[in-house]
Chain A
């Protein structure tokens, strides 16, 4: 379980988050919806301890990680997998090397186990035959699947997606969303999805938090979003995609 308690964050004079509280339970898919530049990705980075809040606490599985040192955070971070918006694959490494890199780096596993897990993720992502290709030679959807495979290879409890369908064509988007749903069904894996696309929320999320002007203006099960009366939520429900 990940908890954000009364988080406030400023970049210089600019206030990004103001007293934000969120709870993400295990084995659920939670969406964080909001317009671009509102601080959604920042929330994911706070959950991983990549940035520190000015106020408030971040608690992961009962451990307060707010003021943890970088070295102590490594263990916590391995409980979560992260899929970055631009995938963040290492462009000088092949797909297999990208998938196996962090296993070789951070876990003392025998090479046979690393190879087994890499093959498992290649099959899961449907990328057989592309093992020795560089990321640049793959399509956007394929690269996203490699990034998901890399996040899964540690067998995390929770996976964090930053705009998982942004920049993808409708077919690839659908594949990614069904992949996310299957992770929960087949692997009992919880997920946090940051998105500005309303359809993504309705397609996969159990609950949704809406972030607007640095504050959470809605946090409930996805179906109840239709009943929300906040003018911003009413406007996005009619437009479907947030262009603000």
Chain B
């Protein structure tokens, strides 16, 4: 006789699924609660950052000077590509003279800060996650606590302060590089006079364009530093665990950077 899935069997799965869902929901909210306290402690320790000024300088070098090449390369390439593609589209409408305006708004409001955020999430965030994860696995973070040092003040706050300081100039440099590469492509690819390009940039840019772009820098700095560091602190299960926590840190912080990018733009543009 052929057996069919019995109704009791199907219904029997429901409590199991509900239990699993309940456990995962609890874990999620517990992790969120932990993250909230972790973030709060990192901010409350900011006054102690001057005690760790050497760490702040080290981290500023890592997320600033050392990250500059990758930020510039991505800004230059996206600025150039934007100029080519948008220029081609505008040419169809006979509006190539608007190339400077369209690329400058895209770069300053959105692409400059966003690309910088994603690049730093990959570079600075992965370094944070891997370094702190390795310290967690090798009990160095426990050692700090055991000998009376607050690991968040020592390890996380200097990273946060450095990121808050360095992300703004990086955004400015990213914008500068993106716009100049767009101007270069406008001149050499679309044969547009540089004067026409820059004339459509400067008079059209409004304060809100800069507010949108530069407000994103500290938001991204907070997201990337805290999310990657928190995941590093949660690392467990040997070297594979460090890998998992690092990847999780990058994926979550990159996702949050994209979401924050949208909301910062929306909120500022609707209110200014």
> Taking beta carbons and an 8 Å cutoff, which residues of A are in contact with B?
45, 48, 50, 70-71, 74-75, 77-78, 82, 84-86, 88-91, 102, 105-106, 150, 154
Contacts and interface: CB of A to CB of B under 8 A. Distances in A.
A78 B140 CA distance: 16
B149 A82 contact: no
Given A82-B147, A88-B138, A106-B147, 7 more contacts: A48-B146, A50-B146, A82-B146, A86-B138, A86-B139, A90-B143, A150-B147
16 contacts: A48-B146, A50-B146, A74-B148, A74-B149, A75-B148, A77-B146, A78-B147, A86-B138, A86-B139, A88-B138, A90-B143, A102-B147, A105-B147, A105-B149, A106-B147, A150-B147
B150 A70 contact: yes
A105 B147 CA distance: 9
A89 B143 CA distance: 8
Nearest to B151: A70
Nearest to B150: A70
A88 B143 contact: yes
B140 A106 contact: no
Task: Bin chain B's interface residue count.
Answer: 10 to 19
B187 interface: no
Contacts of A84: 139, 142-143, 146
Nearest to A106: B148
Nearest to A103: B147
Contacts of B143: 82, 84, 88, 90
Nearest to B146: A82
Contacts of A48: 145-146
A88 B134 CA distance: 11
A14 to B, nearest CB: 14
Nearest to A162: B139
A242 to B, nearest CB: 22
Interface string B131-174: 00000001110110111111000100000000000000000000
Contacts of B146: 48, 50, 77, 82, 84
Contacts of A86: 138-139
A106 B143 CA distance: 13
A78 B147 CA distance: 6
Residue of B138, B142, B148, B150 with most partner-chain A CB within 10 A: B148
A150 B140 CA distance: 13
B97 to A, nearest CB: 55
Contacts of B154: 105
B139 A85 contact: yes
B142 A88 contact: yes
A102 B140 contact: no
A74 B153 CA distance: 14
Contacts of B138: 86, 88, 91
B24 to A, nearest CB: 13
A82 B142 CA distance: 10
B265 to A, nearest CB: 39
Most buried by B among A70, A77, A88, A154: A88
| 7 closest cross-chain pairs (CB), A and B | A74-B148, A88-B143, A88-B139, A102-B147, A82-B146, A84-B139, A106-B148
Contacts of B148: 74-75, 77-78, 102, 105-106
A154 B143 CA distance: 14
B181 to A, nearest CB: 37
B40 to A, nearest CB: 13
A50 B138 CA distance: 15
A67 B17 CA distance: 36
A207 to B, nearest CB: 24
B142 to A, nearest CB: 6
Interface in B2-34: none
B142 A77 contact: no
Contacts of A50: 142, 145-146
Interface in B112-146: 138-140, 142-143, 145-146
Nearest to B140: A88
A118 to B, nearest CB: 15
